[in-house]
Amino acid sequence: MVEDARAIDYSLDSAHNSLCDLDKLHNPDETSILEEYSINWTQKLGAGISGPVRVCVKKSTQERFALKILLDRPKARNEVRLHMMCATHPNIVQIIEVFANSVQFPHESSPRARLLIVMEMMEGGELFHRISQHRHFTEKQASQVTKQIALALRHCHLLNIAHRDLKPENLLFKDNSLDAPVKLCDFGFAKIDQGDLMTPQFTPYYVAPQVLEAQRRHQKEKSGIIPTSPTPYTYNKSCDLWSLGVIIYVMLCGYPPFYSKHHSRTIPKDMRRKIMTGSFEFPEEEWSQISEMAKDVVRKLLKVKPEERLTIEGVLDHPWLNSTEALDNVLPSAQLMMDKAVVAGIQQAHAEQLANMRIQDLKVSLKPLHSVNNPILRKRKLLGTKPKDSVYIHDHENGAEDSNVALEKLRDVIAQCILPQAGKGENEDEKLNEVMQEAWKYNRECKLLRDTLQSFSWNGRGFTDKVDRLKLAEIVKQVIEEQTTSHESQ
């Protein structure tokens, strides 16, 4: 259902000439998008790093498309530009057209310049969801999916573009048919790789070692622990290959190669150590029936040193992707991924950690904060705020500070319930009580959460009875969805 026109105000943005580089690839339409498309504001296909993706319908053909709306800023133009450069490949989501309109949402006092990106509709769902629907997801199917992902990456890399956010949520199937192609989406963190990709962008389970090293050096330089380097530590497209290795591992067995026993909003030391040393195993229970070829490609992608890692051409030439063997062994991953609460909980934790672990995108060496003369940075130091990429900074597009913190606390509860090896022993019960106290403090007005806590025997400080953690995680996920919907409608 389309929202009342009085609630959403669209007007033509006449400043199309400001899109410069974007014009060379595709001229944004100078008319209102509403002249050609109907937009369903209540139906959301998912949420990327820049906000929800909605459904729109071409009036002349009644064909459905996905619609992504971004504030018209240099970062958004760059995202669209890089996506367009890559979108000619059959395994990358296509951009149909781009509109540059002024849009006023209900909670805004005036229209704001935005890019409205019409993309092909992907009806088949995310990678993990698709696997969970196949009771008999085989190793051959996993290798075929891997080949398509690798082809998409090769296309990006040939254009010298690093995606930098390769994870299962950004891999979508075109439709529900058995031979539907998988396509790469969301270029919000993509960059031209000039050997100076300075900003580690990652989700913990998929992060490459040199990304962590880059982050560590930035943090030490920022704190004045080590002198700033005249040649900043950098990383490149090879990080996408590491992420591909992790995705293959998860597809084959249903869990990631690197995880921590301890929940944290930053990468814990034990998990960081595993990533930095490339320490992972192939447990016999899940891996005994998986081919040595599959294990070999994983090993060669999860090499700590980038120069030892398979190149994208090496992946595509690997025997596992080109084998004539049947490889019809059914993988354990489908069964494990059928638990939606587990998959959703892990993805929620990934998203939260991704938002909290970004550092500023700087292309120069960093001075310690105490020595800078920039008045904005001095004010930030005094206020104790985090960089603008953090969830704590007030952003009209994403909502107020308190709402973001409230959602963060709820995701902490899910992570404590879901993350590997959580929920064992009295100490884990204490941790769950602690994160729930924080979540309750910021979400007292939520009736669903209040009713949930009552049903779980919550006394305000802790749970008095044994908690079904998976059930709690599923309900808290519903609370997050309810709170998010409520916030977006304001």
Active site (catalytic) residues:
165
| Cα–Cα dist 81/387, whole Å | 25
On whether the CB atoms of residues 56 and 43 are closer than 8 A, the answer is: no
Residue 104 β-bridge partners: 9
Residue labelled with tokens 């003369």: 373
Side chain identity at residue 374, one-letter code: N
As a whole number of angstroms, the distance between CA 477 and CA 346 comes to: 11
According to DSSP, the residues that pair with 97 across neighbouring strands are 118
Q: Which of 480, 313, 332 is nearest to 408 (CA)?
A: 480
47 backbone dihedrals φ, ψ, rounded to 5°: -130, 120
Q: Cα(460)–Cα(159) distance, rounded to whole angstroms?
A: 55
User: b/e for 304-338, b at 16 or more Cβ within 10 A?
Assistant: bebeebbbbeebbebebbeeeeebeeebbbbebbe
Q: Nearest-CA neighbor of 59 among 118, 123, 124, 14?
A: 118
Residue 106's identity, in one-letter code, is P
Which residues, in sequence order, are bridge partners of residue 399?
A: 395
β partners of residue 173:
125, 182
Beta strands 9-12 and 95-104 are antiparallel
Asked if 174 and 123 count as a contact pair (C-beta separation under 8 A), the reply is: yes
The residues with which 116 forms a beta bridge, in sequence order, are 69, 99
Q: For residue 67, what is the enclosing H or E element? A: strand 64-71
The strand pairing partners of 46, in sequence order, are 53
Question: E strand or H helix at 24, and its extent?
Answer: helix 21-25
C-alpha 262/C-alpha 391 separation (Å) is 22
Burial class (CB in 10 A: 0-12, 13-18, 19+), 266: exposed
For the chain, state the CA radius of gyration. 23
Spacing of C-alpha 293 from chain mean position: 29
| DSSP type of residue 257 | S
In three-state secondary structure terms, 484 is: helix
Enter the tokens of residue 29: 């339409």
